[in-house]
Structure 1
């Protein structure tokens, strides 16, 4: 199963929860599209967590070579994106893939520093993994040991309540059947029930009285 995300997705619509219902290990394999020869993606590193509830992680990543930097600069020269793929594996051997990206020039300017966010549902399922540039004063030396500086965070997602449409439809159906059978009692007052009949009669009486006044009594002789 593949999901495609960008670094800007989910940041405005996610609600955070205070915990998670499930605990277990999680492994996130990181691949990128730099210096991969004939392959589209090749290994960049790995993030492992013994407990997603604790959030403690171990990050192991390669160092960029001169060839990595040169290719990244070529992508930056055309204002392109540096693309990363993550493969998340959980205890049930379920694998989920995500794609994320960031501006190649921004990644160079940051000194190869990024922030990795993994977004988890309360049941422990990973719904997204995103990468974004981390503002860093780390100077980038074009040698053979350009390390990637990453910060990793688990983000817990609270699922929005789902409307119980079926129950609402059943309630409307029961009310309709009750009205058809005459089982629904009308507790309104007499005026509330028959005002549409009373008001016209009252108006008619008032108009009749105004147009036909009683004649004055004859003077006494």
Structure 2
């Protein structure tokens, strides 16, 4: 009896996003920023407080944020008011300001025992790593938003990158400024990143009379 050759069956791989909510993550509202900040201040968790505040102010991607060194923020024992960082994704420089309160926190943090001998601003608590990983950072963000009653699946590290830029856009409608602050090469990228809708654009246009 001749043998019948059956077609090979390739097992289906589980989709990477099965069971996950994907898509653009929400930015935080000002009241939510203050709620997270207050919790970290009460806990006296200087590293995480600084990580959160610098993430909001710098608008950096997580991969650039976690690798920030002490020398990026401090020069000649003084905390810089303005900082410039070369983005690893685009190799383009992006600048940001540090508020007075954040500069005070940085000065306190670099003098703490936890920072003794550390080159990076956000050292990992795992001994085999010099700084926290982007995965660790992502877990921290989920913990922060969950602590104030938000659904963690709707937020991520890009929520912090987007927060201040979204607020600047809401208050000024200046996409060019947002483009420069986010380090995007094109305004179109900022439009997509912020999720600017036609209604937003029309509302801005209505305010301009020429």
Greater relative contact order (Cα < 8 A, sep 6+):
2
- With the length of structure 2 as denominator, give the TM-score of the two structures: 0.24
Compare the two structures and name the one with the higher strand fraction: 1
- With the length of structure 1 as denominator, give the TM-score of the two structures: 0.23
Compare the two structures and name the one with the higher helix fraction: 2
